[in-house]
Amino acid sequence: MGYLFDLHVHTNRYSPCSRIPPEQLVRQALRAGLDGLAITEHHRQWEEEELGALVNANGASRFTLLAGFEYSSSQGDLLIYGVPSDQVSSFIPGGPPQKAAEMARRLGGVCVAAHPTRAGLGFGERIHEIPLVGIEVVSVNLKEYEQRLALGLAKAIKVPPVACSDAHRLEDVGRYATEFQDPIRSMSDLQKALSRGRFRPADHALAVRGRV
């Protein structure tokens, strides 16, 4: 069994659309069997101190709590990991996804396409031009046929699939997760693992089990 990680979670601290109280997040994640997760608020990234405080408050020193952010582009949403939090405000919402992904790369970050097939192919044909380390193929916000489409897309453009909860409700945390081959203890571990493709959607994550 690898290292179970949920790459896409929103809390009500900075995502008004989420009903998840941060105080209950870690406990729920542990209950769901996760080894770690990344909080990805919309256009906002938790500071290191905030993450540390939450882990300490739960006495969960073995749990890895990281933060990236979700960027809404003119064509689809990107999960961005590894950008310094004081740079997040320079990602102006609604810009071209290629531009945001290039900027993330310049700042040392990596990008995963979030729900790329929700309500049609958000990123369009030009998804090839976006430097992606992963494509979300399952989440609570992708219907089953959208999950199949996303998996097909991942194969077509040869970007490895990830499974995430995209939780906005406490009970959805960890409902889907990505299984990493190596332990993820830091953002740098996560970026390395993502860049090297050392992961796959966790079995329990797959509504389309057996097709990956």
Interface stretch with Zn ion, choices 22-30, 129-137, 162-170, 190-198 (CB under 5 A): 162-170
User: Taking a C-beta distance cutoff of 8 angstroms, is the pair 13, 24 a contact?
Assistant: no
Tokens encoding 140: 């609570």
Q: Which is nearer to Zn ion, 143 or 196 (CB)?
A: 143
Interface stretch with Zn ion, choices 58-66, 99-107, 124-132, 161-169 (CB under 5 A): 161-169
Q: How far is the CB of 188 from Zn ion (least distance, A)?
A: 23
Q: Which is nearer to Zn ion, 44 or 155 (CB)?
A: 44
Residues 11-70 interacting with Zn ion (rule: CB under 5 A): 17, 70
Q: How far is the CB of 139 from Zn ion (least distance, A)?
A: 8
Residue nearest to Zn ion (CB): 17
Q: Which is nearer to Zn ion, 76 or 82 (CB)?
A: 76
Q: Which is nearer to Zn ion, 11 or 191 (CB)?
A: 11
Size of residue set near Zn ion by CB under 5 A: 3
Which of 166, 173, 178, 194 forms a contact with Zn ion (CB under 5 A)?
A: 166
Footprint on this chain of Zn ion (rule: CB under 5 A): 17, 70, 166
